[in-house]
A = this chain, B = another copy of it.
Amino acid sequence: MSDKTATKAIGAIAAKLGSDRVETAREILTCYAFDATNIKSLPFAVTFPRSMEEVRSIVSLCSESGVHVIPRGAGTGFVGGTVPVTGGVVVSMERLGKILDIDASQRVAVVESGVVNGMLQREAAKHGLMFPPDPSSLEVSTLGGNVAQDAGGPRALKYGVTRDYVLGIEFVTWEGRLVEPVCPGVGSRRWDPLDSLLTSSEGTLGLITKIWLRLLFVPKELVTVLAFFGTTVAAAGAVSRVLDCGVLPAAVELIDSVAMDCIKAFVDVNIPSGAGCSLLIETDGREGEARESMAVVRKVLDGAGVIDVRVAESQAQREELWRMRRSISPSLARIAPSKINEDVCVPRSKLPDLVEEVNKLGRKYRLRVPTFGHAGDGNLHVNVMLDRRDKDEVRRAEAMVGELFEATLRLDGTISGEHGIGITKLEYLPRQLGPAGVVFQSRIKRAFDPGGTVNPGKVIVQS
């Protein structure tokens, strides 16, 4: 793809859709050059379609001259999935932002792919409904991005991930063809291999334009507690015991002491002396159920070495605890200017081993490694803090991440709990998939994108 062909494609798009649909000014391109990884690569242009038809026009005009297209939601991803590594044309979905329908009776929402997760949450709540996937980025990230990455969140423990709520996907293929879902929302069965593939395709198989999502009734009662432990290993051990007690909490989040320190600025939480880690636990259900479930959980915590338990007494206190949890990622900037954020995931029973491994690696490489995440799922967000100007620190951080992935695979875990593969974990994927898995990946990619022009160089690599 030469600049000349790209210029021609961009000209054709502007001529067809209007010049306000295309941006090539460097200051604009810069905003679309990276995601939350801070890995940066400038696109050739950014486009802002306002309808599915405009997405089709953009993609087919690019496809005609082999120009790469990179779909983009809000750019909150942690794996570089939307970074335009080969240049090309970014197709930003931010103006495809309409909730088209909420059918309260069928409990189905139909949305354009640029709708922000939190916007759907609020609209659904008006009908007594909720959309369970709740990544920390929910006030920013788009549903199209959530689907493409199969986003999770704290509630995944009880309610599953985005995949569990996708009823149908409308998408545009590499050549600008439209594919509509089969009977989305009809019946309990969703026989559509394409929906399955597009969900978690990380934008490499097509451009998602419209989504049918299943909603659930909002639980009537929520009880939230923050439980403190002496060490992260002790907290990790308590997680397994909580999950074995016969009630399934809606969330079991771990926050280690480094992360706790960072968020003190955001929330007035009085950490008891001797506390080295905390668990944020929520139960939910109908009236009385959440309280009863939490009573069972608290009995288990008492037997698992808990130091102190704080109960959110009001909705305001509950929201404060969750705001605190969601603030961890941004608050880490207080420690160091950069971080490598990995989300490794192991069988829950091996969580204490993973935590010990992280501690050991932090000491070995002399790095601060605040750790938190969806402990109930065995999923930890390991944040390796660094200053990218310090070349030695960068080298140590990268070596540590490599060892972390090795340890995760050794513990029968997966290198991505929920963030995806993108570009940052690509080199580790073959070990996880095995040779047959890699072959099928590339065959599936070829079936959807024979020219390799849709979000190239990412998780699904062409052979």
Q: Is A77 interfacial (CB 8 A cutoff)?
A: no
Contact between chains at A187 and B417 (CB < 8 Å): yes
Does A194 lie at the interface of the complex (its beta carbon under 8 Å from any beta carbon of B)? yes
Quick check: A188 and B432 within 8 Å, CB to CB? Answer: no
Q: Are B187 and A378 in contact (CB under 8 A)?
A: yes
A160 to B150, CA, bound (A): 19
Whether B189 pairs with A437 at a CB distance below 8 angstroms is: no
Any chain B CB within 8 A of the CB of A101? Answer: no
- Alpha-carbon separation in the docked complex, A201 to B197 (Å): 13
- Cα separation A44 to B192 with both chains bound (whole Å): 32
Q: Tell me the nearest residue of chain B to A421, going by C-beta.
A: B191
Binds B, one of A243-251, A302-310, A313-321: A243-251
- Which residues of chain A (171-201) have a CB below 8 Å from chain B? 173, 177-180, 182-183, 185-191, 193-194, 196-197, 199-201
Residue A289, interface by CB 8 Å: yes
Verify if A325 is at the interface (C-beta below 8 Å from B): no
| Residues of chain B with a CB closer than 8 A to A106's CB | 347-349
Q: 19 additional contacts, CB 8 Å, given A189-B345, A196-B199?
A: A105-B244, A105-B349, A106-B348, A152-B188, A163-B189, A178-B436, A179-B437, A183-B414, A186-B413, A187-B377, A187-B379, A187-B417, A188-B377, A189-B416, A191-B200, A193-B196, A440-B447, A444-B447, A446-B447
Residues of B within 8 A of A378 (CB): 186-187
Question: What are 30 of the A-B contact pairs (CB < 8 Å)?
Answer: A105-B243, A150-B191, A156-B189, A160-B164, A161-B189, A161-B190, A163-B189, A173-B436, A182-B414, A182-B433, A185-B347, A186-B345, A186-B346, A186-B347, A186-B378, A187-B374, A187-B377, A188-B374, A188-B379, A189-B345, A189-B414, A189-B416, A191-B416, A193-B196, A193-B200, A194-B440, A196-B196, A197-B197, A217-B248, A440-B447
Given contacts A105-B244, A413-B183, contact A156 B188 (CB under 8 A): yes
How far apart are A317's CB and chain B's nearest CB, in angstroms?
A: 26
Number of copies: 2
In the complex, whether A128 has a CB less than 8 A from a CB of chain B is yes
A377 to B64: give the CA distance in the assembly, Å: 44
User: B432 contacts A177, CB within 8 Å?
Assistant: no
- Indicate if A240 sits at the interface (CB-CB under 8 A): yes
- Let me know if B414 and A193 touch, CB within 8 A: no
How near does chain B come to A418, taking the closest CB pair, in angstroms? 5
Give the distance to chain B from A347, nearest Cβ to Cβ, in Å: 6
When distances are taken between beta carbons in the complex, the residues of chain B under 8 Å from A400 are: none
Given known contacts A182-B414, A447-B440, is B160 in contact with A188 (CB within 8 Å)? yes
Q: Does A26 contact B (CB under 8 A)?
A: no
- Specify which chain B residues have a CB less than 8 angstroms from the CB of A396 in the assembled complex: none
Name the distance in Å between A437's Cβ and chain B's nearest Cβ: 7
* Measured CA separation A14–B441 after assembly (Å): 35
Residues of B within 8 A of A186 (CB): 345-347, 378, 412-414
Closest residue on chain B to residue A344 by CB atoms: B187
Decide: A161 and B182 in contact? CB cutoff 8 A.
no
Chain B residues with CB under 8 A of A348: 105-106
Minimal Cβ-Cβ distance residue in B for A205? B193
Is the CB–CB distance between A183 and B349 below 8 Å?
Answer: no
Residues of B within 8 A of A217 (CB): 246, 248
* Contacting residues of chain A (9-55) with chain B, CB-CB under 8 angstroms: none
CB pair A179–B440 under 8 Å, yes or no, is yes
Residue of B nearest to A460 (CB): B193
Cβ–Cβ contact A414 & B187, under 8 A: yes
A330 contacts partner chain B, Cβ-Cβ < 8 Å: no
Mask: chain A, 336-369; 1 = CB below 8 Å from B; 0 = not: 0000000001111100000000000000000000
Chain B residues in 8 Å Cβ range of A98: none
Closest Cβ–Cβ distance, residue A291 to chain B (whole Å): 12
Which of A185, A244, A436 gathers most chain B CB within 10 Å? A436
CA distance A437 to B168 in the complex (A): 13
